Amino acid sequence: MNADNFEADDNPAAVGGIAADRLRSIIERVERLEEERKALAGDIKDIFTEAKSAGFDVKVIRQIIRLRKQEPAEVEEQETLLDIYRRALGM
């Protein structure tokens, strides 16, 4: 297969059949979002530090956040199983 068979030869921004501008745009958007995610992770860490300094147990806060993401029926099922397992172990 020679270079004459690529439709992208008519497009100077295309290399090897790939639209370079489109690829660059996609990569740059992902990079921007990764930077935003990094900044948000720092903000979340700051909030947990604030909670800890206010006397809250961060592990428990994380558990509550995880529970709030779940469906109520799922939470109830897990709590029921936890209770059954505790009783089975004499706790």
The pLDDT value given to residue 8: 46
Provide the pLDDT confidence category of residue 17 given band limits of 50, 70 and 90.
Answer: confident
**Tens digit of pLDDT for each residue in 40-50?**
999 999 999 99
Q: How many Cβ atoms are within 10 Å of 61's Cβ, its own excluded? A: 14
**Tens digit of pLDDT for each residue in 1-12?**
454 444 445 555
Token pair recorded at residue 52 = 């800890």
**Tens digit of pLDDT for each residue in 50-79?**
999 999 999 999 999 999 999 999 999 999
Instruction: Give the span between the Cα atoms of 19 and 8, in whole angstroms.
Output: 8
The structure's pTM equals 0.64
**Of residues 12 and 91, which shows the higher confidence score?**
91
Question: Residue written as tokens 């592990």?
Answer: 59
